[in-house]
Chain A
Amino acid sequence: MWKRDEAVKPTGSASPGPAPVTPPTSAPPAAEAARPQTNTSHDHRLEKSTVNIGKSVVIKGELNGSEDLTIEGQVEGKIELRQNVLTIGPNGKIKAQLFAKSVIILGEVIGNVTATEKVDIRDNGSVDGDIASPRVAIAEGAHFRGSIDMQRSGGSKGESKAEQKPAAASQSAHSVQTPAGAAR
């Protein structure tokens, strides 16, 4: 919807948009880059807009906010978007602890990831760290090393279906090899 390059341009001080991402004190240029794109005639649409941090931006420090955020640059420190979606773009390189409602990772993350809803590591995404989230999706081709802590979604414990005949096995009879019996 928005062009990323426009979003990372400084937009001046007259921006009537929503509260910007808290700028890190150690990197003033990043604060300018992280400012949300503005559109004075569509305030209601701004509430759903995504803030972009461009790939030339380097942030060292703490990043807090109450909007969805996409990072294509480099961040070291801590990122906290408790009620929003954090997306690490394909060019993003993160060395930080991440806290968000949902985290989508297409780039590289070194650090622990905590999400209240879901963590989604897409193809070519990379995470070295521990994940804590009730839902975790990891695509084929993604890299992950660490631990995954998933809360129980409820209702499944004790429902042992261990002895049921697998539907997938019966449908793929040509490729199924059945056990010959116990060896011991």
Chain B
Amino acid sequence: MFQDLLKWGGKPGVATAGPARSDEVIVPSKALPKFLSALTQAESPVLVDFGPVIGSNVGFFGERLGCKLFIEDLSADLERHARAGTMDALAGVFEKRFRHADQTVDGLLCWDYFDFLDKTSAQALARQVVRMLRPGGAVLGFFCTSSVARSGFTKYEIVDDVSLRHRPHPGPEFPKTALQNRDIIRMFDGLLVSDSFLLKNNIREMLLRRR
């Protein structure tokens, strides 16, 4: 009870994530503050999160932005299709999955989900991202620099405005494919890569904007 009170009365801009476990790392983010800055310009922004729900992130965005947050949890979709052996159908699923009208979303948290998709599915998802994003809106995406045979999902938990906790997400592993910068630019045709940062762990953080 008392902990709940503390959590809800916490300082704005500081998420209430718990202490890090040994398999978790806190990684500074250069793109996250720019993403937040883009969203604060909108009144009650609409935010779409492709990741699973994380309570502290919900609290953070609610406190910071007073936004409407849509949890899409693509990891659940990928796991379900992987179990059913229907990964080829993902592209078609993405075409119909999102209920948002054209240009109604202010921010999209793609995290690293594009790394886990084949080319056709990634292009289908990117088309939806471009379709949903409102002018002035922002997309935050992470992209690996080298392909990985098998990897599990990562949960990205916001520690504060400038750092994320990377947490392994239990579940099946998938191959990760490295996309070239030019492929990303082509894939998000209609958006502008406004910022790109290469972290020491070889993750590219990208912020894409719609003019």
Contact = CB atoms under 8 A, between A and B. Distances in A.
Interface string A129-163: 00000111111101111111111110111111111
Interface in B149-195: 159-163, 181, 193, 195
Interface string A84-119: 000000000000000000000000000000000010
A172 B26 contact: yes
Contacts of A138: 53-55, 58
A120 B4 contact: yes
Contacts of A164: 160-162
A158 B8 contact: no
B66 interface: yes
B40 A137 contact: no
B92 interface: no
B27 A144 contact: no
Q: Range of interface residues on chain B?
A: 35 or more
A162 B68 contact: no
Contacts of B162: 162-166, 169
A182 interface: yes
B13 A156 contact: yes
B197 A182 contact: yes
Interface in B7-24: 7-8, 12-13, 20, 24
Contact of B163 (A155, A160, A168): A168
Q: Is the interface of A mostly helix, strand, loop or mixed?
A: loop
Contacts of B204: 183
B156 to A, nearest CB: 14
Interface stretch (A41-49, A60-68, A71-79, A173-181): A173-181
B191 to A, nearest CB: 15
A181 B73 contact: no
Contacts of A179: 28, 30, 197-200, 205
Given A150-B62, A179-B198, A137 B7 contact: yes
Given A150-B62, A181-B198, 17 more contacts: A136-B58, A137-B8, A138-B53, A147-B71, A150-B61, A153-B63, A160-B33, A161-B161, A162-B34, A163-B162, A166-B28, A166-B159, A176-B25, A178-B200, A179-B205, A183-B197, A184-B181
Interface of B: 4, 7-8, 12-13, 20, 24-28, 30, 33-34, 36-37, 40, 44, 53-55, 58-59, 61-71, 73, 76, 159-163, 181, 193, 195-201, 204-205
